Amino acid sequence: MSISFLHHTFKTPGVQHISSFFFCDRTVLNCRLHPNYERCSNCKSRNTIHYGKRTRTFKMLPVGNTKVEMSVSIPRLHCNDCGSIRQPDLPFADPKKHYVRALKRYVIDLCRLASIRDVAQITGLSWDTVKDIHKEYLQKKYKSINLKTVRRIAIDEKYLGKKRKFITIVFDLDMGRVIHVGNGKGKDALKGFWKTPENFKGQNQGSRHRYGQRVYFCCDG
């Protein structure tokens, strides 16, 4: 199997295929890291020598209903320039992850169409792993929201039990996204949210008259 095939089909650059075998319901590819990627992860120097090796297994994109894994022999490198002993950076996976970046992107795409349980079954990842991938993506995407683009909002309350009581959630009605979560209920839960109230119109949902005065005061002047 060529490097080009692995790169373009499975999105795993920098690996050389050695052999393959089939185990239960999955295909396992034995690979090694290409010498061009054997650089010091600290100073990026090529002036290194091997100082042992370790085999790691990564989950890859499935082929139909067949799960695919890649077992990669990764050297430990002693850098003659900075003196560090580390594994090189992998061009196909994030540090401390047991799946390739292509599978991560596939999970994010599937989460738009299916539940976390279904995505876990399709990809062979655990429910917790799929949830963590999707959570990380949502946090990065919605970390900072420009309220200048918000025109219509909805406000609702959720009861989380005796310990956490209520939370108040503000939604962007046009985009379907959460733009604020406040502890408690009533107008105090909206403190810190009304920074640019002139940009959007308020729609009070599910909270009866508690927010009415606050919403119309902030949105209608």
Q: What integer pLDDT is reported at residue 3 of this predicted model? A: 66
**Per-residue pLDDT tens digits for 42-82:** 999 999 999 999 999 999 999 888 899 999 999 999 999 99
Q: Identify any residues that bridge with 68 across adjacent strands, giving them in sequence order.
A: 27
For range 102-129, the mean pLDDT: 93
For range 196-206, the mean pLDDT: 51
- Band of residue 157 on the pLDDT scale cut at 50, 70, 90: confident
**Per-residue pLDDT tens digits for 27-47:** 999 999 988 899 998 999 999
Q: What integer pLDDT is reported at residue 61 of this predicted model? A: 92
The pLDDT of residue 208 is above 90: no
Q: What integer pLDDT is reported at residue 207 of this predicted model? A: 47
For range 162-180, the mean pLDDT: 81
Taking a C-beta distance cutoff of 8 angstroms, is the pair 48, 77 a contact? yes
Share the mean pLDDT of the chain: 82
The pLDDT of residue 109 is above 90: yes
Closest to 30 (Cα-Cα) out of 20, 22, 39, 38:
20
Q: What integer pLDDT is reported at residue 174 of this predicted model? A: 81
pTM reported for the whole predicted model: 0.68
- The owner of tokens 């002693």 is 78
Q: What integer pLDDT is reported at residue 55 of this predicted model? A: 92
Structure-model confidence comparison of residues 176 and 17, the more confident one: 17
Q: Give CB contacts under 8 A, 24+ apart, made by 81-86.
A: 81/40, 81/43, 81/45, 81/47, 82/40, 82/42, 82/43, 82/45, 84/40, 84/41, 84/42, 84/43, 85/51, 86/40, 86/41, 86/42
Residues of the chain with pLDDT > 90: what percent? Answer: 35
